[in-house]
Amino acid sequence: MEEQFRQLIELLLPEGILTYFELVNTIKDHEGLKIYLEEKNIIPEEFKGQLLHSKGFYPQISIQDFPIRGQEVQLCIKRRRWEIQDTKEIVSRDWQLVQSGTRITKEFAAFLKGILGQSTH
């Protein structure tokens, strides 16, 4: 049943999002459907040779997604940030690099980079 649920969720979310984000909650209320996603603690490729540890998340943002069966849909997204232990620099995933090397769509990468208003490094 879990695999069928995952397949259904993948159809409702932007392509490739579950590679990098975990579905943590859904709430249906009078406003519509809210889908809560948190970035997985997977060290970005560009930092693989460095010692990083998670420093939690940037503030959650909510964006409007395509309606589902007449219900408004909001994606409530938390992007992860890491600290490079040697330099104490805070970094996050570079969504342009992800887009060029994986299944995530260019459109979704641009969304994450632009809408979130966060520097990638």
Residue 89: per-residue pLDDT: 94
Query: Contact at 8 Å (CB) between 39 and 56?
Result: no
- Dist. CA 102–CA 18, nearest whole Å: 12
Query: Contact at 8 Å (CB) between 23 and 37?
Result: yes
pLDDT in tens, 12-26: 888 788 989 999 999
- Dist. CA 109–CA 121, nearest whole Å: 15
Residue 66: per-residue pLDDT: 82
Q: Which of 5-14, 62-71, 94-103 has the lowest mean pLDDT?
A: 94-103
Return phi, psi of residue 110, to 5°: -65, -40
Query: Contact at 8 Å (CB) between 116 and 79?
Result: yes
